[in-house]
Structure 1
Amino acid sequence: MTLQKKVIWITGASSGIGEALAYEFNKKGAHLILSARRIEELERVKENCSDSEESVKILPLDLAETHGMNDKVLEALAYFGHVDMLINNGGISQRSYAVDTQMSTVRRVMEVNFFGTVALTKALLPTFIEQKSGHVVVISSVMGKFGTKFRSTYAASKHALHGYFDSLRQEVYDHNIDVTLVCPGYIKTDVTINALTGSGEKYNKMSKGHKNAMPPDEFAKKLIPKLAARKEEIYLGGAELMGVYLKRFVPKLFNKILKRVSVT
């Protein structure tokens, strides 16, 4: 699949994985729609792209404001006339014990990670159905396949995405629409620094696993060919990916291992 002039809409494009994907798609000649809350950071990412005035558009978006998604889709379609791929990358993480996590924090994480992603996808879906093509990509996590201490709400939001988009995939086969769930392991981003504590404040710490993890630009380079191959589920990361298979085949052993492992 050539990416030349394909229209790629990326949420969470102001940093981390989203920013790295923007640069990599831009190198391959794609047209980009970049969304996030921080307009100044989106402008920075745009300026770092080549041919940015013609090929890169900025569309500010807050995933927590699900009521406005239909209008956002209309704005996106006005830029290039259509969208070929939606990359649902925006989201937030959580670092706190379940007993200490306020319900307001639980709702915040679910609102952004699950409801925001679903609302935007649903708003764009009729366009994909009408044009008889489209690719929905969801940046999930290995936490969508198993849970650990300190991440109960985050893991729940990612598990919910898997249930929803696995089901959606079955519904859109006949419309020539692909659905891909991407499960990164540790990627060297600020995801833990920006994570919410139980009270909803910023965690402000880089986790041990992320300090020496795969850089986001390497992740983007490895991911795009797999997206072009329209794979249904993609795993990228380090040794932590083994947890997916241990959970599936030897869950009792896996739980024993997790009890002893530091996950902060």
Structure 2
Amino acid sequence: MSSYEAKTVWITGASSGIGESLALELAKRDATLVLTARRSARLEELRSKCPDPERVHVLGGDLLDETSWTGLANKAQAAAGPIDVLVNNAGVTQRATAQDTRLADVRRLMELNFFAPIALTNAVLPSMLARRSGRIVVISSVAGYVGTPFRSSYAASKHAVRGYFDSLRAELHDTGVGVTIVCPGYIRTEISTHAISSDGQVHGKADAAVASGMDSTDCARKIADAIAKGRSEIYIGGKEVYGIYLKRFFPKLVERIVPKHVPE
């Protein structure tokens, strides 16, 4: 897929951060968009910023509600036609020790970060397979390779996402449908502000590493390019991305380094 012209892209978690920036980037590249998030008002604001708002469909919904998954997929396709690219971007992280994280919050993380992408993918996949065309994109993380303190459940969900969609890619070989796994590092978004604390409440502040990370606009541009080129997996960020390679080739070194990088 060399161009987004005449392509329909469904982005979840589009009201802020990577999702919002990717929507603006793809709108500039002439894509038709379906935008999903809980905050419908934010989506309407985003829609108004796009070059051609008439080609942007707002579809509010809470992906923590598993009963909504099939309905959202049906509404997305009814509003904009067959989905050419699904970007599973919605997600949440945590800021709590493994011991202090409530099991209910572990389940909440897995519902949004892992099960929702699977359900939405399964909902749009039949149409893609019938057309022998389409791409599934999932936002994993550097944490999908390297676990770090106070993010145990988040890291687990991102490891799971990477493993599942890596397997799915192999299953879809020679079907015309591709899979792109995106592993961002520190990107300047609201992710740490909205992280789940040990009491289940919002963390409420940005980590220093996130605040000084890559701009989400630059991240979105790289993601858009990767999708267009049919890339299987990409790593985006600063020096933290090298942790992926260190984990593979020098795991003991990573064991010494990671405990020193605690969120501030």
Same fold per superposition (TM over 0.5): yes
Structure 2 Cα separation of the partners of residues 226 and 101 of structure 1:
35
Q: Give how far 1:75 is off.
A: 1.2
> In structure 2, the residue corresponding to 1:149 is in which secondary structure?
coil
Distance 1:251 1:136 in 2: 31
In structure 1, C-alpha distance between the alignment counterparts of 2:61 and 2:176, rounded to whole Å? 27
Contact residue 34 and residue 80 of structure 2 kept, 8 A: no
* Equivalent residue, structure 2, for 1:21: 22
- Which residue in the other structure is 2:40 paired with? 39
Tell me which moved more, 192-201 or 58-67: 58-67
Query: 1:63 touches 1:117 (CA, 8 Å); kept in 2?
Result: no
- Counting matched residue pairs gives 263
SS of equivalent residue, structure 1 residue 32: strand
Q: Is the 8 A contact 1:3 1:30 kept in 2?
A: yes
- Equivalent position amino acid for 2:46 in 1: V
Query: How far off its partner does 1:29 sit?
Result: 0.6
Q: Which amino acid aligns with 1:251?
A: P
Partners of 1:170 and 1:202 in 2: how far apart?
Answer: 37
2:225 alignment partner, SS class: helix
CA contact (8 A) 1:140 1:182 kept: yes
Q: Which runs of 5+ in 1 are unaligned?
A: none
State whether residues 195 and 204 of structure 2, in contact with CA within 8 Å, keep that contact through their aligned partners in structure 1.
yes
Tell me the residue number matched to 1:253: 253
Tell me the amino acid that sits aligned with residue 39 of structure 1.
S
Match of 2:149 in 1: 149
**Alpha-carbon shift at residue 67 of structure 1 (Å):** 2.6
Q: Deviations over 1:205-226 (max 9, x none)?
A: 1101011111111111122112
1:148 and 1:263 in contact (8 A); partners too: no
- Please provide the CA RMSD for this pair: 1.0
Amino acid at match of 2:89: N
8 Å Cα contact 2:37/2:59 also seen in 1: yes
Aligned to 1:178: 178
Question: Match of 2:125, as an amino acid?
Answer: L
**What is the CA–CA distance in structure 1 between the aligned matches of 2:245 and 2:208, rounded to whole Å?**
22
**1:66 aligned partner:** 66
Percent identical among aligned pairs is 46
Counterpart secondary structure, 1:23: helix
| 2:188 and 2:216 in contact (8 A); partners too | yes
* Aligned-partner Cα distance in 2 for 1:119–1:15: 22
**Distance across 2 between alignment mates of 1:73 and 1:211:** 33
The answer as to whether partners of 1:186 and 1:213 remain within 8 angstroms in 2 is: yes
- Residue 262 of structure 1 deviates from its aligned partner by 2.8
Aligned residue number for residue 7 of structure 1 = 8
Residue 89 of structure 1 aligns with which residue? 89
1:75-97 alpha-carbon deviations (Å, 9 max, x no partner): 11122321100000001111100
Distance 1:151 1:73 in 2: 30
Q: Is the CA contact (8 Å cut-off) linking 1:105 and 1:199 kept in structure 2?
A: no
User: Per-residue CA shift, 1:93-121, capped at 9, x if unaligned?
Assistant: 11100111111111111111111111111
Question: 2: distance between equivalents of 1:75 and 1:117?
Answer: 16
For the 8 Å contact 1:70–1:123, the answer to whether it is kept is yes
How far apart, CA to CA, are the structure 2 residues paired with 1:69 and 1:104? 20
Secondary structure of the 1:169 match is helix
Deviations 1:135-170 (A, max 9, x none): 000011100011011100000000010111111111
TM score, norm. by length of structure 2: 0.97
Paired with 1:141 and 1:67, the residues of 2 have a C-alpha distance of 26
Deviations 1:188-207 (A, max 9, x none): 00100000012210000110
Q: Distance in 2 between matches of 1:240 and 1:22?
A: 25
Bigger mean CA deviation after superposition, 26-35 or 66-75 = 66-75
Displacement of 1:69 in angstroms is 2.2
CA contact (8 A) 1:66 1:120 kept: no
CA offset at residue 59 of structure 1?
1.0
Counterparts of 1:197-236 in structure 2, within 5 Å, are: 197-236=197-236
Counterpart secondary structure, 2:27: helix
Q: Is the CA contact (8 Å cut-off) linking 2:57 and 2:80 kept in structure 1?
A: no
